[in-house]
Amino acid sequence: MKKLSRRDFIKVAAAAGSLTVFGIGYSGTIKGISKGWWSAERPRDPITGNAPEPEFRVDRKSGKVIPNPNQYVANTVCVGCTTLCGVRVRVDKKTGKVLRVSGNPYHVLSADPFLPYETPIKESYKFLSGYQDSGLKHRSTACGRGNAVLDKLYDPYRVLTPLKRVGPRGSGKWQPITFEQLVKEVVEGGDLFGEGHVDGLRAIRDIKTPIDPNAPELGPKANQLVFIAGFKEGRLPLAKRFSVLSFGSINFTGHRGNCGLSMRAGYAALLDDWKKYPHLKPDFKNTEFLLTIGTAPANAGNPFKRTGKMVAEGRSDGDLTYVVVDPVLTNSDSIAAGARSRWIPVKPGTDGALVMAMIRWILENDRYNAHFLSQPNGKVAQAAGEPSWSNATHLVIVDETRPDYGKFLRGSQLGLAEKGKNDTFVVIDQTSGKPIAHSKATGPAVLFYSGTMEIDGKPVAVKTSLQLLKEEAQKHTLEEYSKACEVPVSTIVSLADEFTRHGRKAVADCHGGTMHSTGFYTAYAAVMLNALVGNLNWKGGTSAGGGRYADVKPGPRYNMVKFKGKVKPKGVRISRRGFPYEKTTEFKKKKEAGQNPYPAQAPWYPFSMALQSEYLPGSLNGYPYPVKAIILWNTNPMYGQAGLYNAAKEAMADPKRVPLIISIDPFINETSAFADYIVPDTVLYETWGATGPWAGYLTKVNSVRWPAVEPPVAKTPDGDPICMESFLIAVAKRMGLPGFGDKAIPDAEGNLHPLNHPEDWHLRVAANIAFDAEPVPDASDEDIALTGVERIREKLKAVLKPEEWRKVAYVLARGGRFEDEKKSYQGEWLTHRYGKPMQIYNERVGTARNSMNGKRFVGVPTWAPARFADETLLEKVYEPKEWPFLMVSTKSQLVSAPVPGTPKLEVIHPQNFVVLHEDDARKLGVKSGDRVRVTSPAASVEGIVSVRLGIKRGVVGIEHGYGHWGLGAKQEQIGNKIWHASALRGKGTASNLLGIGDPSRKGISTLGDFVVGSNARQAIPVKVEKI
Amino acid sequence: MIQEKLSLWSHLYELVSGLYLREPTEKSVSTLGELAPDIGSLLEDNDISHLLAQAGDVAVSELRQEYYDLFLVPVSGRYLPPFESAHRANRLWGPSTHAVQALYQATGFHPESLDTSDCWNGVTIPDHIGFELAFASSLLRSLAGAEDTSEMEALVDTVTFFVDQTLAKWAEPFGQKVQQNAETPFYRAVGLITTRIVPVWRRAFGETLQKVSLHRKSQST
């Protein structure tokens, strides 16, 4: 055989693709290491190698604490996921680099028990050590995400200077620009990209002239600026002050519509608070039975870490038994916990059927808490020993011919009360059997009633709320519900039986699994179980959280929400939430023309909240009005919203749709890739912020963040890091917006203070926290030095009053303010109690209409199979014969939005899988490791199969957070530099690419909940084929 | 010239890495047949050439089965865990695994990004022989393209130390075991190649690397 030349050898070997291992995506050159054991250097320590020195040492015998003089330990807040745990961040004083992260022992989300707030910082170290085993008792750690996310501080793909696109939008070509140029261009506009004139923010801000004089309800032209933000991580109020209260646009949203809005809306209906959207969590320490639906404690949900600890303790040392209803077996289930944990596999999107079956069984078998439900008002309830009450006994008008159909019968309609603000509801007194004003009742009222009441001399059909719920539950038999959710009747009955055997110590909760097209009713039904057992405000029952000390409020030191020239925004949001379609000009015009006003061009959501999922579709469709500029901050809907990328990528790249897109983001993600300008931002422990846990805690908690390390971003001319705050302040000042500049923040005496720097805002928020109720003590010099607050001492003194700064330092040194845990309970009741009644029937829901078909919504929980906005059933359009699987995105224990691209997680868990049941895999002829294509009606993705028994048959499970095409997975050009794509960052499968649109709507759309619009990322019809 | 030689060895290491990380296919077997004389010559062993020349006599399905039996199926009776720690410390994830992992991280090498057969997808144990060979290949490739003297010296240090501390300590005995357990000429050849690749490289390259370093140093002065 002829020998090949060396060159030929290389050519032949390389040509044989089946022999090469460096694929096309391989990024190439690696670096040599000239230091370390591999270059024959010995490690510093034979046991610990080159690991960082400990931050302190504690003498085991004496308890003496010896801090490491080369480090400081900052108590602050993790932003690695939405839980926002307290963490302590160890920093090397010499390099200013973060060495490690662990839990803040003062913080309720990180330690249980958490340390008394007065504990001096130095003393707190003792509680983390082996001294008297206190380190075990007060163990405070960060989770896997929390440990990994610090890598993002030093991410090579981080944006450090303002960028302006130089190619077509979305082409990945950028030019670094100065901060001054950035601010000037976005404010003044002009021919910014050589593509014609673009209005700047100054031209857009017109708070008087209507967008459309023929449709004045849409509001002024200022609404053509849309601000899309992320979750409430502690900085959001300043962004809201800028865009809503100063700029005057009504279009500001957080991320909820793409996160857990269905769950939140279900709770809002139950708790009757459509403004704050509160939600409940179990009092884990004392709960005996927990039913979690579409979420799994310690695997998903919030607060993630604390819940994990509570569940572990509850099932081992306490009396907790829990059942997870989910299409996929989660890490919550533990064989070690024996019968204490169970998994009930359910068909995706049908949890509502299971719960409605439970409700039916509970009501028909008298297993509800009649004592609780029959209390007609708060006073009577308290007297009867109930810390909460409900509207179960309130009468609802059910005569469909009346204009007040669906409303509660008012006392004034029967002559029992005055019309107006003192009007009452009506109940039937149990003793007399007569209708009375609910507020005048002195004892329990009738729970089930269906009859008539005479109004204006005419009989009108009425029913109690509980009667309506029972009738709704009885619309289907247990067998029908069972068939829908594919859970046996016997399982449903035993679940309902077990749930109601624990009195008030049984709790039902739900979360992201309800993000499907009928998630609102699923959630409302699931959380209704809590009302049926009457567990609200009880030890072992449910809590709406312990609240916070005053922060962004008219606080004891500063009024953070009032300023001269503050705008009250008007009009309709681009998401069409919070405004009934029936009040629009579009509706009225159709009516006047004799047309059927339904359907609207796109759905309207009268009682929804923070509907991010409709912001980009609405803006790109120009409905209900055209949008001129979008500011994105701390959010990535093109990746995070199921179905959006494929539906909107072309429109996002078209400057005619939205002429100006500004993204404030530390990275170039899938959404900021379409920006015209990228503004760098601070990350994690570089940031300021004041926030708190969502729920799952019983005492007052404020989590406070401060810049524990110096950010590497470029500086403004004023010397501030370029970040969200400094950018918005500079824009506001250039535009002369109210609420910014030298005289912006009033103190308690009415004196005005400046808002020129980020700390002007954040330190004054912290001052409110420090002085609310009983002011906190002054921080000692030792506290300030050990925690690194020293590095901002001069800022504290410059911004705050002499009597304030040490108290604020006290709060910062501890990473927040935390009420004593002993204040959790008052006997068998919780100390911090939710005050409004639980809504068995919600009038606001029951009187609203679906804008796509004119049908009324049901005011109680109901079973609703998957459907489009116009209520056409999904199965009718996408028949199961063609789409035999339902895809669900599963929650990752390690990956969350801020985490992708961290080397630690890339090693531990580099990619996800397409999870299939063993029987399905066999039918498809695939095994673990095979490559498959998953196709939905909208798109296809590829992935590697993992065959498991822990998934329901007919379900495809894909862990969310992988398969990125931004954040370093795609090449970008910054000036003359190329940021090469990292194949590792794009590894795995992105479940959201499979999300589908809504064919019952016009223009760009994604499938959403038909009542509140939350994005449907679950129960997506798909098919699977082997590649 | 030196760059060409480095590049050649980089490809050879990659090719051997591919023998462990990718199932055999008709294409890969026939290519190896074509390259048989060159591989034998480079590794200074004619038996390699002979065995590879016979590789095509066996059906690819049989070769694939052998691949699974040797490297993937513990109950096959012929299984040889392809992980360094399994042979040096009698366990998975031993000290050498962590050491190799630390080095991958420090140098920016991501074994997860390699183009492997699907059966290795999700396997993240860093001291798989295929990963280690690919790492050596990657270092040599970077060395061939390095322009900066200090980077070159660092790469020389790293590749020398890595090969000395890892592959040199287990590739040869592992290759012998593969030869013993293999039933086909193809995998006997794979075993033989594995026994040869490190000692021949060290013999031929120890000196060359010094030359590279010196040459670059003289250029930079």
Tell me the pLDDT tens digit for each residue of A563-572.
Answer: 999 999 999 9
CA–CA distance, A80 with A443 (Å, rounded to integer) = 50
CA–CA distance, B190 with B55 (Å, rounded to integer) = 10
One-letter amino acid at B83 equals F
Q: Among A292-306, A544-558, A965-979, B181-195, which is the least confidently predicted range?
A: A292-306
Any CB–CB contact under 8 A between B114 and chain A?
yes
Q: What is the mean pLDDT of residues A990-1011?
A: 97
Of A14, A36, A930, nearest to B106 by CB-CB distance is A36
Give the number of other Cβ atoms within 10 Å of residue A443's Cβ: 14
3-state secondary structure chain B: CHHHHHHHHHHHHHHHHHHHHCCCCHHHHHHHHHHHHHHHHHCCCHHHHHHHHCHHHCCHHHHHHHHHHHHCCHHHCCCCCCEHHHHHCCCCCCHHHHHHHHHHHHHCCCHHHCCCCHHHCCCCCCCEHHHHHHHHHHHHHHHHHCCCHHHHHHHHHHHHHHHHHHHHHHHHHHHHHHHHHCCCHHHHHHHHHHHHHHHHHHHHHHHHHHHHHHHHHHHHC
Which pLDDT belongs to residue B158? 87
List pLDDT tens digits, range B146-205. Answer: 877 778 888 888 888 899 889 999 999 999 999 999 999 999 999 999 999 999 988 877
3-state helix, strand, coil in chain A (%, to 5): 30, 20, 50
Q: A777 or A26: which carries more pLDDT confidence?
A: A777
Q: What is the mean pLDDT of residues A659-672?
A: 98
* Coil, helix or strand at residue A813: helix
Across the interface, whether the CB atoms of B53 and A39 are under 8 A apart is answered no
3-state secondary structure A752-775: EEEECCHHHHHHHHHHHHHHCCCC
Across the interface, whether the CB atoms of B101 and A30 are under 8 A apart is answered no
Which pLDDT belongs to residue B99? 87
Is the pLDDT at B217 greater than 60? The verdict is: no
CA–CA distance, A924 with A1027 (Å, rounded to integer) = 11
Is the pLDDT at A38 greater than 80? The verdict is: no
Which pLDDT belongs to residue A4? 54
Chain B interface test: which of A7, A9, A19, A915 (most B C-beta within 10 Å) = A19
Which pLDDT belongs to residue A822? 93
Which pLDDT belongs to residue A1? 42
Task: Report chain A's mean pLDDT, rounded to a whole number.
Answer: 94
Q: What is the mean pLDDT of residues A637-658?
A: 98
Q: Is the pTM of this model over 0.90?
A: no
Q: Long-range contacts: A127-133, Cβ < 8 Å, 24+? A: A129/A58, A129/A60, A130/A58, A130/A60, A131/A58, A131/A59, A131/A60, A131/A63, A132/A63
Q: What is the mean pLDDT of residues A471-496?
A: 98
Is the pLDDT at A39 greater than 50? The verdict is: no
List pLDDT tens digits, range A174-233. Answer: 999 999 999 999 999 999 999 999 999 999 999 999 999 999 999 999 999 999 999 999
Which pLDDT belongs to residue B53? 87
Which pLDDT belongs to residue A759? 98
Q: Among A158-172, A805-819, B37-51, which is the least confidently predicted range?
A: B37-51
pLDDT tier, B221 (very low <50, low <70, confident <90, very high otherwise): very low
Distance from CA of A80 to the nearest CA of B (A): 22
Q: Which of A870, A1017, A887 is nearest to A952 (CA)?
A: A887
Is the pLDDT at B220 greater than 50? The verdict is: no
> Chain B, 121-140: which have a CB under 8 Å from a chain A CB?
121-122, 124, 130, 134, 137-139
CA–CA distance, A574 with A657 (Å, rounded to integer) = 14
Percent of chain B with pLDDT over 90: 44
Strands A741-746 and A701-705: unpaired
Is the pLDDT at A42 greater than 70? The verdict is: no
Where is A973: in which H helix or E strand?
strand A972-974
One-letter amino acid at A351 equals D
Instruction: Write down the H helix ranges in A880-990.
Output: 903-908, 918-924
Of B8, B119, B150, nearest to A9 by CB-CB distance is B8
Which pLDDT belongs to residue A274? 96
Q: Among A56-70, A528-542, A790-804, A873-887, which is the least confidently predicted range?
A: A56-70
Which pLDDT belongs to residue B98? 86
Q: How far is the first Cα of chain B from the last one, in angstroms, to the nearest whole number?
A: 21
Q: How many CA atoms lie within 13 A of A484 on its CB side?
A: 21
List pLDDT tens digits, range A221-249. Answer: 999 999 999 999 999 999 999 999 999 99
Q: Long-range contacts: A577-580, Cβ < 8 Å, 24+? A: A577/A604, A577/A605, A577/A606, A577/A608, A577/A609, A577/A611, A577/A614, A577/A1012, A577/A1013, A578/A605, A578/A606, A578/A607, A578/A608, A578/A609, A579/A217, A579/A604, A579/A606, A580/A604, A580/A606, A580/A848, A580/A849
Which pLDDT belongs to residue A12? 65
Please, are residues A399 and A407 in contact by the beta-carbon 8 Å criterion?
A: no
Where is A652: in which H helix or E strand?
helix A644-652
Is the pLDDT at A887 greater than 70? The verdict is: yes
> Chain A, 976-995: which have a CB under 8 Å from a chain B CB?
983-984, 987
pLDDT tier, A2 (very low <50, low <70, confident <90, very high otherwise): very low
Q: Is the dihedral of CA B184, B185, B186, B189 positive or negative?
A: positive
Q: Which of A389, A295, A376, A290 is nearest to A337 (CA)?
A: A290
One-letter amino acid at B218 equals S
Which pLDDT belongs to residue B196? 95
Q: What is the mean pLDDT of residues A153-159?
A: 94
Which pLDDT belongs to residue A40? 45
Q: What is the mean pLDDT of residues A777-783?
A: 98
List pLDDT tens digits, range A909-927. Answer: 888 999 999 999 999 999 9
* Chain A / chain B CB contacts < 8 angstroms: 172
Q: Among A72-81, B31-40, B212-221, which is the least confidently predicted range?
A: B212-221
Tell me the C-alpha to C-alpha distance, in Å, between residue A555 and each of A219, A550, A771. 31, 6, 8
Give the number of other Cβ atoms within 10 Å of residue A14's Cβ: 14
List pLDDT tens digits, range A380-405. Answer: 999 999 999 999 999 999 999 999 99
Distant-in-sequence, close-in-space partners of A25: CB < 8 Å, separation ≥ 6: A981, A983, A986, B113
**Chain B residues inside the 8 Å CB shell of A18:** 18, 22, 25, 27-28, 31
Please, are residues B92 and B81 in contact by the beta-carbon 8 Å criterion?
A: yes
Across the interface, whether the CB atoms of B19 and A27 are under 8 A apart is answered no
Is the pLDDT at A291 greater than 70? The verdict is: yes
List pLDDT tens digits, range B80-95. Answer: 999 999 999 888 888 8
